[in-house]
């Protein structure tokens, strides 16, 4: 149990955590504006990765433009999802909304591999495989890039909420009726938040797709992303940053020491325990806003 092993787990865990944050960002964006828990975010990450892969590998578009094209595609996909699915669900019980997004997840999980082939696709974004070596510590280069992208995206999201449009979104997240009464189009704000969630799903999909290949398993990112979101607070962007680090580090360090003893699979247990303990002790998460229920 030398210290270099621990530091390696710590750093790679933190980097993975930032990449989880990338996938979790979309859930927060949507929940913040409309109160809808988007459990289809995992499948949207998968779809974003497929879009980027089609543009880059099938159509031969240079990578930056391919990603830009995928962002546009997923933005539109988000808009359409909101317009045709979620807008009809306003006022329905939460179970219906949860199940609708889960149904969408299942649909996309069939549609993606069905249309583009089930074999994993590789997406080369020009990051070498050689690890960065600092002293005795090996750092995975793609995780590092992914984490940087994650921090940038979270920073952009924070900045976005300071712009004029972002201010509108914050108003909508505070109170729908009050926003209507001052002339903010709540529908458009929610639609934009779905579009942005789609766009952030492309970032997550490209980074994760370059690490582990593009197939339906990308949608399994939903589970750690949900842990990040619950721990950080469903409506907090800062929460994604902090909780991403916590989930990533715990999900790397604990399995690093426990897995050899119990024989694997501890990461899911750590993630489940994080969700469970958060909900039992602090349901609204670290930075989330506490719900006040009126009878």
Partner 1 sequence: MFYRLSGVHHTRYETARQIWPVPTDRRVVYILLALALAAPLYLPDLYLSSYVLPWLVWSAAALSLTLLMGIAGQLHFGFAAVMAIGAYSSIHLARAGVPFELALIGAGVITAVIGTLFGAAALRVKGLYLVMATLAMQYLVDWVIINVPAISGGAQATLNTPEVSFLFMPLSGTGLYYGALLWAVIVTVFVLNIKRTSFGRALVAIRDKDYAAAVIGVNPFKYKLLAFFTASFLGGISGAVLAFCYYQAVTPEQFGFNVSIQLVAMVLVGGLGSVIGAYLGAGFVLLAPMFLTNAVAYLAVWGVLPLSSSLLAHIPLMVYGLLIVGFILFEPLGLAKIYDNIRKYFLVWPFRHTQS
User: Applying CB under 8 A, does 57 fall inside the site for partner 1?
Assistant: no
Whether 209 contacts 55, CB under 8 Å? no
User: Applying CB under 8 A, does 259 fall inside the site for partner 1?
Assistant: no
User: Applying CB under 8 A, does 263 fall inside the site for partner 1?
Assistant: yes
Query: For partner 1, which is the closer residue by CB, 85 or 184?
Result: 85
| Identified binder of partner 1 from the candidate list 104, 125, 137, 172, rule CB under 8 A | 104
176-179 long-range contacts (CB < 8 A, ≥24 apart) are none
Query: For partner 1, which is the closer residue by CB, 61 or 111?
Result: 111
84, two tokens: 């045709």
User: Applying CB under 8 A, does 107 fall inside the site for partner 1?
Assistant: yes
| Identified binder of partner 1 from the candidate list 42, 113, 251, 256, rule CB under 8 A | 113
What x/- string results for residues 197 through 226 when contact with partner 1 is judged by CB under 8 A? Answer: --------------------------x--x
Report the nearest approach of partner 1 to the CB of residue 219 (Å).
12
Report the nearest approach of partner 1 to the CB of residue 142 (Å).
26
What x/- string results for residues 120 through 159 when contact with partner 1 is judged by CB under 8 A? Answer: ----------------------------------------
Three-state helix/strand/coil letters over the chain: CCHHHHHHHHHHHHHHHHHHHHHHHHHHHHHHHHCCCCCCHHHHHHHHHHHHHHHHHHCCCCHHHHHHHHHHHHHHHHHHHHHHCHHHHCCCCHHHHHHHHHHHHHHHHHHHHHHHCCCCECCCCCCCCCCEEECCEEECHHHHHHHHHHHHHHHHHHHHCCCHHHHHHHHHHHCHHHHHHCCCCHHHHHHHHHHHHHHHHHHHHHHHHHHHCECHHHHHHHHHHHHHHHHHCCCCHHHHHHHHHHHHHHHHHHHHHHHHHHCCCHHHHHHHHHHHHHHHHCCCCCCCCCCCCCC
| Identified binder of partner 1 from the candidate list 109, 121, 168, 176, rule CB under 8 A | 109
Query: For partner 1, which is the closer residue by CB, 11 or 39?
Result: 39
What x/- string results for residues 60 through 99 when contact with partner 1 is judged by CB under 8 A? Answer: -------------------------x--xx--x-xxx-xx
User: Applying CB under 8 A, does 114 fall inside the site for partner 1?
Assistant: yes
Query: In the chain, what's the furthest Cα-to-Cα distance?
Result: 61
Angle at 44 between CA 228 and CA 198, to 5 degrees: 90
Query: For partner 1, which is the closer residue by CB, 188 or 282?
Result: 282
Angle at 50 between CA 44 and CA 51, to 5 degrees: 90
For partner 1, which stretch binds (CB under 8 A), given 174-182, 191-199, 237-245, 265-273? 265-273
For partner 1, which stretch binds (CB under 8 A), given 17-25, 53-61, 140-148, 264-272? 264-272
Residues contributing to the site for partner 1 (CB under 8 A)? 37, 85, 88-89, 92, 94-96, 98-100, 102-111, 113-115, 117-118, 223, 226, 230, 234, 262-265, 268-269, 271-273, 275-276, 279-280, 283, 293, 295
């Amino acid at each position: 149990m030398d210290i270099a092993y621990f530091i390696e787990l710590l750093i790679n865990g933190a980097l993975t955590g930032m990449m989880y944050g990338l996938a979790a960002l979309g859930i927060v964006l949507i929940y913040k504006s409309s109160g809808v828990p988007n459990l289809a975010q995992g499948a949207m990450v998968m779809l974003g990765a497929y879009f980027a892969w089609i543009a880059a590998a099938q159509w031969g578009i240079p990578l930056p433009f391919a990603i830009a094209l995928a962002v546009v595609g997923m933005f539109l996909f988000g808009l359409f999802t909101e317009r045709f699915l979620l807008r009809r669900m306003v006022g329905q019980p939460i179970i219906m909304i949860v199940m609708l997004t889960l149904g969408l997840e299942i649909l996309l999980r069939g549609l993606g591999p069905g249309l583009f082939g089930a074999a994993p696709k590789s997406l080369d974004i020009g990051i070498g495989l050689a690890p960065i070596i600092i002293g005795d510590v090996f750092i995975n280069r793609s995780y590092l890039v992914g984490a940087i992208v994650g921090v940038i995206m979270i920073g952009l999201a924070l900045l976005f909420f300071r712009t004029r449009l972002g201010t509108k979104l914050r108003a909508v997240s505070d109170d729908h009726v009050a926003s209507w009464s001052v002339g903010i189009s709540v529908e458009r704000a929610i639609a934009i938040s779905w579009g942005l969630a789609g766009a952030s799903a492309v970032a997550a999909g490209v980074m994760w797709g370059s690490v582990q290949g593009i197939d339906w398993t990308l949608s399994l990112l939903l589970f750690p992303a949900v842990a990040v979101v619950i721990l950080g607070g469903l409506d907090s962007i800062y929460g994604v940053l902090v909780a991403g680090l916590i989930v990533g580090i715990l999900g790397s360090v604990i399995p690093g020491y426990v897995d050899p003893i119990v024989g694997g699979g501890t990461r899911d247990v750590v993630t489940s325990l994080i969700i469970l303990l958060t909900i039992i002790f602090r349901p609204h998460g670290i930075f989330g806003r506490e719900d006040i229920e009126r009878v």
